[in-house]
Amino acid sequence: MEYQNLQFSNDNGFVTITISREKALNALNKQTMLELEQYFSKDGLEKIDSIKGIILTGAGTKAFVAGADIKEFLGMDTEGGMAMAQRGHDIFFAIERFPRPVIAAVNGFALGGGCELAMACHMRICSENARFGQPEVNLGIIPGYGGTQRLIQYIGKGKAMELLMTADMIKADEAHRLGLVNHVVAQEELLAKARAILEKIASKGPLAIAKIIASVNAYFDHQQDGFNSEVRSFGATTGTSDFVEGATAFVEKRKANFTGK
């Protein structure tokens, strides 16, 4: 596949991928999503032995990615929205599970799908002018590329609720304070800082690094499964004789006599 919106440079196995739609503040249109999918699910994996690490950034100095391309999702129905969200999840999971370190070098606005993309990377380094936010509610939708799940992982439930519901944008220093980004540096130092971290990681065993990525991700998979598991388990317990006995005993103000059935 020929890449149109992603530009690549490879310096001795350190790959920099630049999302290059500067006039649209690097908004993620369908073509860009297709190219991210192609690289992280196929081309990058095929060349994995020659890759030491990846820096993902946006063209220019104004935006990393200013969101999903709003102009493309006008008129989308429920079915189309679900299909697009599912596909977006799969693409961002491919980034999150990529067996080499992927650092988002956030060089400006990281909004909506852009913030979600940065959060799918293993780390985030940002420039001082970076701004983060999930402004989807301004458009009457919610984040569809994992934002409601990953933001909690980085900044905790209460603050995530606030940012998701208010659509407030936060500055680089607050993103750092909250734990959303690892480091804040001057714009001109951004790529060098990301590269320095990748070089340090590249001096370690690549199999161990791949396992670190898999193991850390597994913790959060477990969290998500935990909620699903809770739903199933709750349903299973409500169908038991013990639940009838427990609830009845409460109403009758007596001690329950459970039978394990």
- List, by residue number, the catalytic residues: 116, 136
| Listed ranges 10-18, 69-77, 153-161, 207-215: which one lies at the site for ligand DAK (CB under 6 A) | 69-77
- Helix or strand (DSSP H, E) at 251: helix 241-251
Q: Among residues 44, 112, 120, 191, which is the contact residue for ligand DAK, using CB under 6 A?
A: 112
Q: Among residues 39, 98, 109, 132, which is the contact residue for ligand DAK, using CB under 6 A?
A: 109
Q: Among residues 3, 20, 24, 99, which is the contact residue for ligand DAK, using CB under 6 A?
A: 24
Under 8 Å between Cβ of 62 and 24: no
Nearer to ligand DAK among residue 44 and residue 133 (C-beta): 133
Beta carbons within 8 Å of 120's beta carbon, 6+ residues apart = 92, 93, 95, 96, 145, 146, 150
DSSP 3-state assignment of 219? helix
d(CA 159, CA 22): 30
Instruction: Provide, rounded to whole angstroms, the least separation between the CB of residue 118 and ligand DAK.
Output: 12
CB atoms under 10 Å from CB of 146, counted, come to: 21
Instruction: Provide, rounded to whole angstroms, the least separation between the CB of residue 83 and ligand DAK.
Output: 8
| Listed ranges 22-30, 175-183, 215-223, 231-239: which one lies at the site for ligand DAK (CB under 6 A) | 22-30
Q: Among residues 53, 88, 101, 146, which is the contact residue for ligand DAK, using CB under 6 A?
A: 88
Neighbour order of strands in the sheet with 53-58:
6-11, 14-19, 53-58, 102-106, 123-127, 183-185
Does 34 participate in binding ligand DAK (rule CB under 6 A)?
Answer: no
Nearer to ligand DAK among residue 85 and residue 123 (C-beta): 85
Does 130 participate in binding ligand DAK (rule CB under 6 A)?
Answer: no
Residue that the structure tokens 């750092």 belong to:
176
| Listed ranges 7-15, 73-81, 155-163, 236-244: which one lies at the site for ligand DAK (CB under 6 A) | 73-81
Does 92 participate in binding ligand DAK (rule CB under 6 A)?
Answer: no
Q: State the distance between the two ends of the chain, measured CA to CA, in whole angstroms.
A: 58
Pairing status of strand 170-171 against strand 123-127: unpaired
Does 58 participate in binding ligand DAK (rule CB under 6 A)?
Answer: no
Estimate the crossing angle of helix 157-166 against helix 147-155, to 10 degrees.
Answer: 130
Does 40 participate in binding ligand DAK (rule CB under 6 A)?
Answer: no
Instruction: Provide, rounded to whole angstroms, the least separation between the CB of residue 116 and ligand DAK.
Output: 7
